[in-house]
Amino acid sequence: MTAFPAALLPLPVALPLVVCAALLATAHLLPGRLPDILATLAALGVAILCGTIALHAADGPLVYWFGGWEPRDGVHLGIGFSVDEASGWVAAFIGLLYALTFVFAWGFFDRTHGHFQILMLLFLAAMIGFCFTRDMFNLFVWFEVMSVAAFALTAYHLAESALAGAINFTVVNSLAGFLMLGGIGLIYAQTGTLDFEGIAAAVARGGRDPVVAGAFCLVAAALMIKGAIVPFQFWLADAHAVAPSPVSVIFSGSMVSLGLFGLAKVSAVVFGASGQVQHALPVLLIGLGGVTALLGGWMALLQRHLKRMLAFSTISHAGIMLTGIGALSAGGTGGMLVYVVGHGLVKGALFMIAGILLATQASIDEIALRGLGRGIWPAGIAMGLAGLLLCGLPLGVLDQGTRLVQGALAQQGHGIALAAGTIGAALTGAAVLRAAGRIFLGLGPDPGDEAGAPSEDEREKANRPLWLMLGPCCVLLALDIGLPADLIGHALPRAASAFLHRPAVEALAEGPAWLPWASLIAALAGAGYGLFRKTLPALVVRPVSVTQSAPTRALEVLHSGLIGDYAAWLAVGVALIAAVLAMV
Amino acid sequence: MSPRIRVALLALAGLILLPCAATVIAGLPPFGATIAQYGERINAITPEARHVANMVSAINFDLRGLDTLGEEFMLLAAITGTVVLLRGRRGEGNTEHAMRRPGRAVIPRSEAVVLACRIAGPLTALFGLYVVVHATVTPGGGFQGGVILASATLLIYLGEGYAGWRDAIHSHWLDAMEGGGALLFALCGLAPMLTGAAFMQNVLPLGTFRDLFSGGLMLVENLGVALAVTGGFTQLFLEFMEETRAADEPDEPGEESA
Amino acid sequence: MTMLPYAVAAWLFGIGLYGIATSRNFIHLVGCLGICQSATYVLLLGLGYRWGSIAPIFYDHPPGTPAVDPVMQALVLTDIVVGATLTALLLVLTIQAYKRGGSLDPEKLRPMRAGGGSRRNQASSRADDGAGKTS
C-alpha cells in the first residue's frame, strides 16, 4: 500500500491515456469542440498533478512500484517510477505547454474527429512516463510511444516536403530506438536487472567493462539522436519545418530537450559509477555540444523559411544544453534543467508566432512577408521580445539557465564551449530579430521579384481569432519572464543534487554578468547586418561575404535531405562516441 | 553527397566500430551459458505467486504490465496516425461504403473459394479466441490472438468480395473496439487503486494453476488488449484496402484537411 | 560458436544500415529498417538463451525446470509490436509520397531546403541565392 503523495505518481500518465482511449472509443459521437475541451483539461490536470508531485518531492524522491512489485531481497521485480523534484517540475512544465498548445490549436484540426487530440495526449503521456520512470526498458517504451505519435503528427499536411520530412524523421528515430534497445540488452546481460538503481549498483561493482561502455554508447547515441546533436541533427530541421505549428511547438519546446534530459539522467544515475563513461563524458558532450551550438546558429542565420530557421535555432540551443550536462556538476545539470524550461517557453512562443503568420498571412517566408506583419503588431512585439530573450536578454528563466550553464563551464575552464554557446545563442537571436524586423517593421531592402517564395504554398487554418492564438503565446513569454528567479535559485541546488543522486551543494555559480549582454549586442549587430547590408560600406560587407560563402555552401550540401546521407552520418556519430569511450 | 562518399563514410565508421564491437562481444557472457538473475527469479516465484504457467504473459500483464500498457497505446498511436494520414487525402466522407475503382472489372469468385473462406473464417476466429483466452496457460495472449482475429475478417473479403467485406465492417465500430479495449486495459490499472492497492496490482482471485481461469486481473487486461488489437488491425486493413480503391488524381490538396 | 549470435546481430544491423544508406526505393528501405530491427531480436533472444532449458511455460514441465529468460522474450514481444507500428506508418508515408511525387526513389523526394521548397531540381545555385540574400 502506497501512502498519499507517492500514490499520485501513476496518475499523470494514466489520465491522458484514459482520456485519449475514451475519445477514440466515442470519436464519432462527440460534438465538435468537446475533444478540444477534454484535451486541454487533461493537459492542465497533468500539469497540476505533476506540480503537486514536485512539491512533495522536495524532501526526497518519491518512489512507486507498479503492480505492488516492490524489490525483494535486492532484486527489482517490477517497474518503478522515481520522481525527484527537478523531474517533477519538468513534467509539470510539459503539461502546461501542452495545455497552452491545445488552446493555440483550438479548431485547427476540425475535420479529424479528435484524432489530433488523441495523438497529442498519447505524446503527452509518453513524455511524462519518460520523465518519471526508473526502468531502462520502460524508458525505451515511452521513447517509442513518443516517436510513433510524433511521426504521424509530422506528416499531417501531406505535402511532399512534409512527407519527406516525416520519412527522414521516422527512419532516423527508429534507428535510434533500435540502438537504445541494443544498449538495454547489453546492460541487462551484464547486470541482470533493468532498474536504474540496480544497474548503477552492479556497474559500481564491476569496474571497467567494455560491455557497460558499449551499452552506454548505444543508449547515449539514441538519446542524442532525439536531442538533435551533431552529427545526428539532420532530421530535426526537416521534421520541425513541415509539422503543423502546434506540433512544432511541442517538438521544439519539449521533445528535443527531453532527449537530453534523458541523457543527463541516464549518464548520472545509471552510469554514474562507471569511471570510463564519466571520464569520456566531458570531452564528448562539451565537444559535440559546442559544435552543435555553432552549426545550429549558423544554419539558422541562413534560412528564410521561418519554421526551418527556428528548427535550426533549436539545434543550437540543444548544443548549449549538452555543454551544460557535460560540465558534470550540479551547477551545469541544474542550469541545463532550468534552460530546458526557459527554452521551451520561448521557443514554443516563437513557433506559435510562426503559426499565426501562417494562418493570417498565408506565408512563412521571411522575404515574402516583409512588412506584412504590421497589421498584427502585437505578434511583432512578442516576436521581438522572444528574439531578445533567445539571444540572452538578462531577464527570466532562460537567462537564469544560461547563466548557470555558463557559470559551471567557466568554473571548470571550458572557455571554448562557453564561447561557442554564447556565439550560437547570438546567431539564433540575430536570425529571429532579423526576421522580426523585416516582417513587422518592413526593414531591409525591397525584395522585388524575389518576394515570390520558392517554397510550396503553405497555409494553415485561417478562421481562428488572433487573440486565441496570441494568448497562449503571451502566456508562455510571461511565464518565462515572470517566474520568480529567487524561488528557482533557492530550490535548484537541492533539486539538481537530487537529480544527479549526489550530496546536496550549497550554492551554484553563475557566469560573468557581461556575457549575456555581449551575446545580445552581437545578435543585434548580426540582425542589423542582415537587414541593412545594402546600405553598409563595401569595406564591411566584402570580407564577411567572402568568408561566409564557402562554409555556407558546404553546410548546405551536408543538409541534403537524403535519408541515405543521414544514415551514414548516424554511423559516423556512433563511431565517434565509441572512439571517445575507447580512448579514455 | 554522392553515393560513393556516403559508402566511404559508412566504411570508415564501420572500421572504427568493428574493434569496439569485437571487444563488447568478447566481454559478454558466452552464449547459452547463463541467464540473468531477474529472469531466473521470475521463473522461480511467479508460478506460485500468480498461479500462471506462462511466464511471458505474467511479465507482460503483471510484473511489467506498464510496458504493455505503453505498447498497447503505441499501437493505438500508429493506427490513429495511419487513419489520419490516409484519410487526410481521401477525405472523411466516404468511409461508410465501398469505393469503386472506375474501369476495374469485378471478377466473380469461384464457389470453392467462397466455401473455403466460409469454413475457414469462423474456424480462424475460433482459434484466435482460443489463443486470446489461454494467455496465462499456453503461448499466446491478446496481441497474438487479436492479430489472428483480425486476419479472420480478411477471409470475409476473400470469400464475399470487397463490397461484402465493407458491409460487414464498420469503421466506427472498429474505433470503438480499439478505444474501448485500450480503455479497459487502462482502467484495469486504475481500478485497483480505488481499493488502496498499487496501479495494476493483481487484486482479483488468482484461480487455479494450469487452468483457463488463472492469473486474476491478467485475464481482463488480456481481453482489453485482444479487443484493441482486433479493432486496430482490422482498421489498418480497412484503410490500406480503401487506398487501393482511391482515385488516382486527388481532387483536394493536403492543406485543406487542416 | 559462443559468440556467433552476437556477431550475427552486429552484422544484421550493419548490413541494414548499409541498405538504408544506399537504398533507391522506399519499400526496400522499409525492409532494410526491418533488418536493422531483426538485429535487436537476435541480440535479445541470444542474451536470454541458456542451453538445455525449456521455454518459460510451465505447463508440460513442472515449475522449477530450468527455463530460458522470460524477460527477454517479453521484451522481444514489445519489440515486435514496435516493428509492426513502424512498418505500417512508413508504408503509409510511402504511399502518400508516391502519390504526391510519383516516385519511390528517396533521392528524388526532398524535404524543404534552405533556399526554398521541395523542388526536385535541387539546384545548388538557388540554395546559394537564398543564403546570400538573407544573411
Q: Are A111 and A162 in contact (CB under 8 A)?
A: no
pLDDT (average), residues A277-285: 95
Amino acid at site A520:
L
Query: Domain locations in chain B?
Result: 53-95+108-248
Q: Are A104 and A469 in contact (CB under 8 A)?
A: yes
Radius of gyration (Cα) for chain B, nearest Å?
24
Among partner residues B30, B78, B85, which is closest to C2 by beta-carbon distance?
Answer: B30
CB contact (8 A) between residue C44 and residue A185? yes
Q: What is the DSSP track for B146-184?
A: HHHHHHHHHHHHHHHHHHHHHHH--HHHHHHHHHHHHHH
Interface size, chain A vs chain C, as Cβ–Cβ contacts under 8 Å: 186
Neighbours of chain B (3+ CB pairs under 8 A): A, C
> Under 8 Å CB-to-CB from C34, ≥6 apart: which residues?
C16, C83, C87
Q: Which runs of consecutive H residues, i.e. helices, occur in B51-110?
A: 55-58, 65-90
Helix (H, G, I), strand (E, B) or coil at C115: coil
CA distance C56 to C6: 22
**Which residues of A are less than 8 Å from B69 in CB distance?**
17
What interface predicted TM-score (ipTM) does this complex get?
0.92
Helix (H, G, I), strand (E, B) or coil at B214: strand
Helix (H, G, I), strand (E, B) or coil at B102: coil
| Helix, strand, coil share (%) of chain A residues, nearest 5 | 75, 5, 20
Helix (H, G, I), strand (E, B) or coil at A80: strand
Is the model's pLDDT at A455 over the cut of 70? no
Cα of B80 vs its chain's centroid, Å: 13
CB contact (8 A) between residue B63 and residue A119? no
Other Cβ atoms within 10 Å of A222 Cβ, number: 29
**Min distance A85 CA to chain C CA atoms (Å):** 30
**Min distance C60 CA to chain A CA atoms (Å):** 25
Diameter of chain B measured on Cα atoms: 64
DSSP A72: B
Q: Are A556 and C131 in contact (CB under 8 A)?
A: yes
pLDDT (average), residues A184-194: 94
B95 touches chain A (CB under 8 A): no
CB contact (8 A) between residue C78 and residue A155? no
Amino acid at site A477:
L
Class of residue B187 by CB neighbours under 10 A (exposed 0-12, middle 13-18, buried 19+): middle
**Which residues of A are less than 8 Å from C40 in CB distance?**
178, 181-182, 185
pLDDT tens-digit map of A248-271: 999 999 999 999 999 999 999 999
Cell (9 digits) for A387: 528574439
Cell (9 digits) for A444: 531591409
Q: What kind and span of H or E run contains A464? A: none
pLDDT (average), residues A382-389: 95
Q: Which runs of consecutive H residues, i.e. helices, occur in chain C?
A: 4-22, 26-47, 70-101, 124-134
**Min distance A119 CA to chain B CA atoms (Å):** 6
Q: Are A53 and A5 in contact (CB under 8 A)?
A: yes
Q: Which runs of consecutive H residues, i.e. helices, occur in A227-255?
A: 234-242, 245-250
Is the model's pLDDT at C118 over the cut of 70? no
CA distance A49 to A251: 22
pLDDT for B258: 34
Q: Which of A377, A391, A477, A470 is nearest to A433 (CA)?
A: A391
> Under 8 Å CB-to-CB from C121, ≥6 apart: which residues?
none
Is the model's pLDDT at C125 over the cut of 60? no
CA distance C85 to A30: 27
Top pLDDT among B15 and C115 is at B15
pLDDT for C130: 34
B27 touches chain A (CB under 8 A): yes
C22 touches chain A (CB under 8 A): yes
In the structure, what pLDDT confidence band is assigned to residue C135 with cuts at 50, 70 and 90? very low
The partner residues of A72 in beta bridges, in order of sequence, read A75
CA distance A131 to A137: 13
Top pLDDT among A177 and C133 is at A177
Is the model's pLDDT at C114 over the cut of 60? no
CB contact (8 A) between residue B25 and residue C10? yes
Q: Are A496 and A508 in contact (CB under 8 A)?
A: yes
pLDDT for A53: 95
Is the model's pLDDT at C102 over the cut of 70? yes
**Min distance B238 CA to chain C CA atoms (Å):** 13
Among partner residues C71, C72, C109, which is closest to A160 by beta-carbon distance?
Answer: C109
Query: Domain locations in chain C?
Result: 4-52+67-105
Place of cell 502546434: A246
Q: Exposed e or buried b for every residue in A183-192, given b needs 16+ CB within 10 A?
A: bbbbbbbbbb
CB contact (8 A) between residue B254 and residue A189? no
Place of cell 514554443: A348
By C-alpha distance, the chain C residue nearest B4 is C22
CA distance A226 to A221: 9
pLDDT tens-digit map of A527-537: 999 898 888 88
CB contact (8 A) between residue A574 and residue B17? yes
CA distance A287 to A559: 21
**Min distance A264 CA to chain C CA atoms (Å):** 24
Looking at chain B from residue 187 to 226, which residues have their Cβ under 8 Å from any Cβ of chain A?
A: 187, 189-190, 193, 196-202
CA distance A57 to A491: 11
Q: Are A100 and A477 in contact (CB under 8 A)?
A: no
CA distance A80 to A135: 6
Interface test with C, best of B7, B28, B40, B56 (most C CBs within 10 A): B56
pTM comes to 0.94
**Min distance B248 CA to chain A CA atoms (Å):** 15
Is the model's pLDDT at C41 over the cut of 80? yes
Class of residue C20 by CB neighbours under 10 A (exposed 0-12, middle 13-18, buried 19+): buried
CA distance A89 to C27: 43
Q: Are A227 and A263 in contact (CB under 8 A)?
A: yes
Neighbours of chain A (3+ CB pairs under 8 A): B, C
CA distance C67 to B43: 7
Is the model's pLDDT at A203 over the cut of 90? yes
Among partner residues B36, B42, B63, which is closest to A67 by beta-carbon distance?
Answer: B63
Other Cβ atoms within 10 Å of A391 Cβ, number: 30
Cell (9 digits) for A348: 514554443
> Under 8 Å CB-to-CB from A98, ≥6 apart: which residues?
A43, A46, A47, A120, A124, A250
Among partner residues C17, C116, C135, which is closest to A530 by beta-carbon distance?
Answer: C135
Q: What is the DSSP track for A39-68?
A: HHHHHHHHHHHHHHHHHHGGGS-EEEEGGG
Report angle CA A490, A492, A495 to the nearest 5 degrees. Answer: 125
Helix (H, G, I), strand (E, B) or coil at A321: helix
Strands A80-83 and A62-65: antiparallel
Among partner residues C53, C67, C89, which is closest to B81 by beta-carbon distance?
Answer: C89
CB contact (8 A) between residue C71 and residue B38? yes
Looking at chain C from residue 31 to 70, which residues have their Cβ under 8 Å from any Cβ of chain A?
A: 33, 36-37, 39-40, 43-44, 47
Radius of gyration (Cα) for chain C, nearest Å?
22
In the structure, what pLDDT confidence band is assigned to residue A584 with cuts at 50, 70 and 90? confident
Q: What is the CATH number of domain C4-52+67-105?
A: 1.10.287.3510
**Which residues of B are less than 8 Å from A109 in CB distance?**
258
pLDDT (average), residues A116-122: 94
C101 touches chain A (CB under 8 A): yes
CA distance C39 to C16: 9
CB contact (8 A) between residue B56 and residue C74? yes
> What is the share, in percent, of chain C residues with pLDDT greater than 70?
81
**Which residues of C are less than 8 Å from B215 in CB distance?**
none
pLDDT tens-digit map of B69-114: 999 999 999 999 999 898 776 665 555 566 666 677 777 888 999 9
pLDDT for C113: 60
The partner residues of C57 in beta bridges, in order of sequence, read B54
Helix (H, G, I), strand (E, B) or coil at C67: strand
Cell (9 digits) for C37: 530491427
Own/partner pairs, C58-62, CB within 8 angstroms, 24+ separation: C58/B47, C58/B53, C58/B55, C59/B53, C59/B54, C59/B137, C59/B138, C59/B210
The gap between the terminal CA atoms of chain C, to the nearest Å, is 59
CB contact (8 A) between residue B9 and residue A572? yes
CB contact (8 A) between residue A175 and residue C36? yes
A174 touches chain B (CB under 8 A): no
Interface test with B, best of A145, A186, A455, A560 (most B CBs within 10 A): A145
CA distance A471 to B168: 47
> Under 8 Å CB-to-CB from B123, ≥6 apart: which residues?
none
pLDDT tens-digit map of B209-244: 888 888 889 999 999 999 999 999 999 998 888 887
pLDDT (average), residues A443-470: 72
Q: Are A499 and A268 in contact (CB under 8 A)?
A: yes
By C-alpha distance, the chain C residue nearest A155 is C93
CA distance A138 to C75: 10
pLDDT tens-digit map of B135-192: 888 888 889 999 999 999 989 888 888 888 888 888 889 999 999 999 999 999 999 9
Q: Exposed e or buried b for every residue in A416-441, given b needs 16+ CB within 10 A?
A: ebbebbbbbbbbbbbbbbbbbbbbbb
Helix (H, G, I), strand (E, B) or coil at B110: coil
Other Cβ atoms within 10 Å of A211 Cβ, number: 20
CB contact (8 A) between residue C128 and residue A303? no
pLDDT for B91: 62
Among partner residues C40, C93, C133, which is closest to A166 by beta-carbon distance?
Answer: C93
